[in-house]
């Protein structure tokens, strides 16, 4: 069985030639949650965008392959690529308020995608949406479907988008910091919902987050990113039991833990950052000659 | 316990509720803070924690009198400042400083870092030895002296927050309100800023109100914690007592909802608060 998502040595550059993704390799097996964790500028969101084919125009992929269920996106023409991505993947975004059209009711926005992209009948789409609203534990679907986005709370909006993402039975969902904007109690409910739907539907998830706490609770596999480079890749349980890379260890020591206040919140040591800079310089030097 | 710097009794704040404003006429008032009683002891760091809509930021703004309470009293060094006029407030401004969540929007983009730190010094009659004072402020927060000539967009998020701290502390205030100052930062930067604030608060004997939605950053920094929900104090106690033996269900729910960076297969399934 081929991987749900397979990224091989993906590199991307900005117009000035600066590399923003550095030979990134990672895979997500069917039904698996892989966390992509890193700080701002690590390139985690960019990888998600590359998978969904929505990279900003300024970012150019110069090397590598992306395969969705064994199909190489690079070998497809633009239209076929969009169709494949549209049918097999979905996004749960960070900020549901910007992802939803403020001037349209929730119901029509949710069915629209199924009808327009997947060619479902309106009736089938409507039935499917109601089923998913039930699965994300929205108790009064009639009211929610008639609401405009601003009439719902942040947690409710995120539930709606989770329902929309799972509705089309995608094989892979890219979840881009889906709980970052939420209160901690709501975050827990949303994480539990995502985990439950993921299990029930057997969906693979690429879960982008900056929070090692979220990584520990939601994922089975994890890739740690720094400056567009995967510095460590492991089973999640193993990463927390025995982090290998100095940067991973530094991130863990910096993450606040109320159970252990004096062992946490440790500023990242300069030597770790210097080591990372050297590692990246070496990688870039080795990379440049063959690609000009 | 030390003598309180702030003593707050029956504090209520009502603000116009713009979501219910009629087309013509005034918006009806919504009560944001519904009667709060607490003290901030001199030289202490107090965490004020709550979810969105709990009123924690409104409380902070009332303390430094950016907004006027609708009822109750705020005593600062024994004096009731809850209704004093802007001109009476002016001499107090120096003692009541603020650091905000987003230094990108609280630092003037057209001014150099030097001018940003110097402006409040000038306004408060500390315009002599200006260079020296700004240099001292930069050094205190661990920024190189040549940063004085830079602009905010040339700085990283952590550096900008250091400037925010430098500006607030340049006046040697008695009280600092820190409202979600590490929320937008990466964890490695967050740790640096918290460690810096911890050190400076101890060195300068500052009284700090540290507002945050995140209980896990509060434990290390604060000696006491006030937990808020829907405009009321749910629980207020010494930090260790609160974390080791939370009395209220809501506090326990908040703690239980924090995903700790460790493997716990049962965590997702454990009951989330309603």
Would the CB atoms of B264 and A252 count as touching at under 8 Å? Answer: no
What is the pLDDT, as a whole number, of residue B274? 44
Whether the predicted pLDDT of A45 surpasses 60: yes
Q: Which of B198, B239, B256, B260 should be substituted to probe chain A, the one whose Cβ sees the most A Cβ atoms within 10 Å?
A: B260
Q: Does A255 touch chain B (CB under 8 A)?
A: yes
Rounded mean pLDDT, A17-43: 95
| Chain B residue closest in CA terms to A248 | B188
What is the pLDDT, as a whole number, of residue B3? 79
Q: What is the CATH number of the domain that holds A81?
A: 3.40.50.300
CA distance B84 to chain A (A): 35
Q: Which two tokens stand for residue A145?
A: 């479907």
Q: Which two tokens stand for residue B163?
A: 């400037």
CB pairs under 8 A between A and B: 115
Rounded mean pLDDT, B112-139: 93
| Chain A residue closest in CA terms to B251 | A185
| Chain A residue closest in CA terms to B239 | A258
Range of A24's domain? Answer: 5-291
Confidence of residue B102 (pLDDT cuts 50, 70, 90): confident
Distances (CA, A) of B98 to B63, B169, B176: 11, 9, 5
| Chain B residue closest in CA terms to A209 | B186
Residues of A in contact with B194 (CB under 8 A): 265
* Edge-to-edge strand list for the sheet holding B71-76: B29-41, B4-16, B71-76, B79-80
Q: Does A192 touch chain B (CB under 8 A)?
A: yes
pLDDT tens digits for A101-112? 999 999 999 998
Of A187, A252, A261, the CB nearest to B220: A261
Rounded mean pLDDT, A199-226: 97
More confident residue, A238 or B124: A238
What is the pLDDT, as a whole number, of residue B270? 81
Residues of B in contact with A194 (CB under 8 A): none
- Strands (E) in B42-104, as ranges, are 45-49, 71-76, 79-80, 96-99
Confidence of residue A292 (pLDDT cuts 50, 70, 90): very low
What is the pLDDT, as a whole number, of residue B32? 96
CA distance B184 to chain A (A): 10
Tell me the percentage of chain B whose pLDDT exceeds 70: 98
Rounded mean pLDDT, B28-44: 95
pLDDT tens digits for B152-165? 999 988 999 999 99
Q: Is B100 helix (H, G, I), strand (E, B) or coil?
A: coil
Would the CB atoms of B214 and A256 count as touching at under 8 Å? Answer: yes
Q: Does A280 touch chain B (CB under 8 A)?
A: no
| Chain A residue closest in CA terms to B212 | A183
pLDDT tens digits for B37-47? 999 999 999 99
- Whether the complex's predicted ipTM is more than 0.95 is answered with no
Would the CB atoms of A187 and B259 count as touching at under 8 Å? Answer: yes
Tally the domains of chain A. Answer: 1
CA distance B222 to chain A (A): 11
Rounded mean pLDDT, A116-145: 92
What is the pLDDT, as a whole number, of residue B201? 95
B190-211 residues labelled b (16+ CB within 10 A) or e (exposed) = bbbbbebbbebbeeeebbbbbb
Interface of A with B in 19-58 (CB under 8 A): 39-40
Of B52, B216, B263, the CB nearest to A216: B263
| Chain B residue closest in CA terms to A210 | B186
- Which is nearest to A174 in space by CA: A74, A28, A21, A13? A28
pLDDT tens digits for A67-109? 999 999 999 999 999 999 999 999 999 887 888 999 999 999 9
Q: Does A183 touch chain B (CB under 8 A)?
A: yes
Would the CB atoms of A241 and B263 count as touching at under 8 Å? Answer: yes
Would the CB atoms of B273 and A215 count as touching at under 8 Å? Answer: no
CA distance B40 to chain A (A): 22
Q: Which two tokens stand for residue A286?
A: 């080795």
pLDDT tens digits for B16-26? 988 888 888 88
- Which is nearest to B117 in space by CA: B142, B136, B144? B136
Confidence of residue B2 (pLDDT cuts 50, 70, 90): low
Residues of B in contact with A259 (CB under 8 A): 260
Confidence of residue B125 (pLDDT cuts 50, 70, 90): confident
| Chain B residue closest in CA terms to A153 | B52
Whether the predicted pLDDT of B173 surpasses 50: yes
Whether the predicted pLDDT of A1 surpasses 80: no
Contacts of B148-154 with CB under 8 Å at 24 or more apart are B148/B112, B148/B113, B148/B114, B148/B117, B149/B112, B149/B113, B149/B114, B150/B112, B150/B113, B151/B109, B151/B110, B151/B111, B151/B112, B151/B113, B152/B103, B152/B104, B152/B107, B152/B108, B152/B109, B152/B113, B152/B116, B153/B109
Question: In whole numbers, what is the pLDDT of chain B averaged over residues?
Answer: 93
What is the pLDDT, as a whole number, of residue A289? 46
């Amino acid at each position: 069985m081929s991987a749900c998502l397979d990224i091989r040595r993906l590199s991307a550059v900005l117009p000035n030639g600066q590399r923003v993704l550095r030979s990134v390799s990672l895979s997500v097996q069917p039904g698996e949650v892989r966390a992509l964790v890193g700080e701002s500028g690590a390139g985690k969101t960019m990888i998600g965008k590359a998978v969904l084919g929505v990279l900003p125009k300024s970012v150019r992929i110069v090397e590598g392959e992306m395969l969705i269920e064994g199909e190489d996106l690079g070998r497809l023409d633009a239209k076929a690529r969009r169709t494949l991505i549209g049918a097999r993947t979905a996004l749960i975004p960070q900020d549901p308020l910007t992802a939803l059209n403020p001037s349209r009711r929730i119901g029509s926005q949710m069915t629209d995608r199924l009808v327009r992209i997947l060619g479902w009948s309106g009736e089938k789409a409507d039935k499917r949406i109601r089923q998913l609203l039930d699965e994300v534990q929205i108790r009064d679907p009639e009211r929610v479907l008639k609401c405009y986005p601003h009439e719902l709370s942040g947690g409710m909006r995120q539930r709606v988008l989770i329902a929309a993402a799972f509705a089309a039975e995608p094989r892979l969902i890219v979840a881009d910091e889906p709980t970052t904007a939420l209160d901690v109690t709501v975050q827990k409910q949303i994480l539990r919902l995502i985990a439950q739907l993921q299990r029930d539907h057997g969906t693979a998830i690429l879960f982008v987050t900056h929070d090692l706490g979220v990584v520990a609770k939601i994922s089975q596999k994890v890739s740690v990113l720094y400056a567009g480079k995967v510095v460590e890749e492991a089973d999640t349980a193993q990463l927390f039991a025995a982090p290998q890379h100095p940067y991973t260890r530094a991130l863990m020591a910096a993450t606040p833990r109320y159970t252990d206040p004096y062992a946490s919140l440790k500023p990242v040591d300069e030597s770790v950052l210097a080591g990372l800079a050297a590692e990246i310089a070496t990688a870039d030097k080795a990379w440049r000659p063959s690609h000009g | 316990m030390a003598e309180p710097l702030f003593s707050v009794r029956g504090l209520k704040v009502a603000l116009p509720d713009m979501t219910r404003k009629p087309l013509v006429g005034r918006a009806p008032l919504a009560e944001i803070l519904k009667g709060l009683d607490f003290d901030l002891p001199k030289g202490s760091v107090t965490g004020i924690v709550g979810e969105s809509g709990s009123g924690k930021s409104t409380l902070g703004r009332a303390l430094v009198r950016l907004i006027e309470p609708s009822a109750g009293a705020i005593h600062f060094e024994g004096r009731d400042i809850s209704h004093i006029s802007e001109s009476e407030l002016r001499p107090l401004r120096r003692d009541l400083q603020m650091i905000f969540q987003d230094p990108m929007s609280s630092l003037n983009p057209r001014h150099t870092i030097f001018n940003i730190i110097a402006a409040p010094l000038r306004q408060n009659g500390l315009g002599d030895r200006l260079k020296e004072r700004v240099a001292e402020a930069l050094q205190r927060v661990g920024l190189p002296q040549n940063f004085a000539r830079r602009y905010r967009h040339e700085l990283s998020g952590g550096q900008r927050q250091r400037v925010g701290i430098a500006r607030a502390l340049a006046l040697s205030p008695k009280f600092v309100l820190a409202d979600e100052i590490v929320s937008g930062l990466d964890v490695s930067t967050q740790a640096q800023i918290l460690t810096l604030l911890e050190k400076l608060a101890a060195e300068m004997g500052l009284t700090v109100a540290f507002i945050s939605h995140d209980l896990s950053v509060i434990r290390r920094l604060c000696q006491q914690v006030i937990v808020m929900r829907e405009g009321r104090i749910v629980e207020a106690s010494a930090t260790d007592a609160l974390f080791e033996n939370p009395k209220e269900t809501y506090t326990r729910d908040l703690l239980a909802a924090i995903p700790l960076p460790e493997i716990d297969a049962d965590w997702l399934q454990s009951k989330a608060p309603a």
